[in-house]
């Protein structure tokens, strides 16, 4: 009788351990679809000049699109996002961010401001979805981002 009780207790403990391991793995992979981590994956990542990213953030906010700021050009290897908007005044930073974004999330949409029209072919080679050129001022950025959002939400 004691042996049966010990075997049953050990079985219950092993089953509990198995359930906890599975639960931990489930939570590491994002948990339920409505979790905060899952919603973060649906964010647009903004990077670049604070004035220009502020304009883009206003466009996204007006459409109810979730966004977050990218603190630095090299993205974390575990970054998750649906789109990247790179508005740096330096083409090298915009290109590096978009290339890294495509490497981390191949299906991510990319928008980068091309500051030098002679570099437009580099954006095409990098697979950037939209790379407007010209003077990067608030009105031109607003217009370009809104046009891009209109084309991507149809």
Name the pTM for this structure. 0.70
pLDDT (tens, 9 = 90+) of the chain, 154 residues, equals 888 889 889 988 888 888 888 877 777 665 654 444 444 455 888 998 889 999 999 999 998 888 888 766 667 666 778 899 999 989 999 999 999 888 888 888 999 999 988 889 999 998 999 999 888 888 888 898 988 888 877 6
Give the 3-state secondary structure of residue 96.
helix
Q: What pLDDT, on a 0 to 100 scale, did the predictor assign at position 43?
A: 84
CA distance 141 to 75: 23
Give the tokens for residue 138: 């608030």
What is the predicted pLDDT for the residue at 150? 85
Q: According to the model, what pLDDT value does residue 112 have? A: 93
3-state helix, strand, coil in the chain (%, to 5): 55, 15, 30
- Residue 23: per-residue pLDDT: 79
**pLDDT confidence of residue 35:** 44
């Amino acid at each position: 009788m004691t042996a049966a009780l010990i075997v049953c207790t050990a079985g219950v403990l092993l089953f509990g351990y198995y359930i906890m391991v599975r639960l931990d793995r489930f939570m590491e992979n994002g948990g339920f679809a409505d979790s905060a981590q899952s919603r973060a994956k649906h964010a647009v990542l903004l990077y670049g000049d604070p004035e220009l990213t502020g304009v883009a953030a206003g466009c996204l906010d007006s459409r109810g699109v979730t966004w977050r700021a990218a603190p630095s050009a090299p993205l974390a290897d575990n970054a998750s996002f649906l789109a990247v908007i790179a508005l740096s005044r330096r083409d090298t930073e915009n290109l590096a961010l978009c290339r890294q974004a495509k490497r981390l999330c191949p299906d991510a949409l990319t928008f980068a401001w091309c500051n030098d029209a002679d570099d437009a072919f580099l954006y095409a080679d990098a697979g950037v979805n939209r790379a407007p050129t010209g003077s990067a001022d608030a009105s031109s950025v607003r217009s370009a981002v809104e046009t891009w959002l209109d084309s991507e939400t149809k």
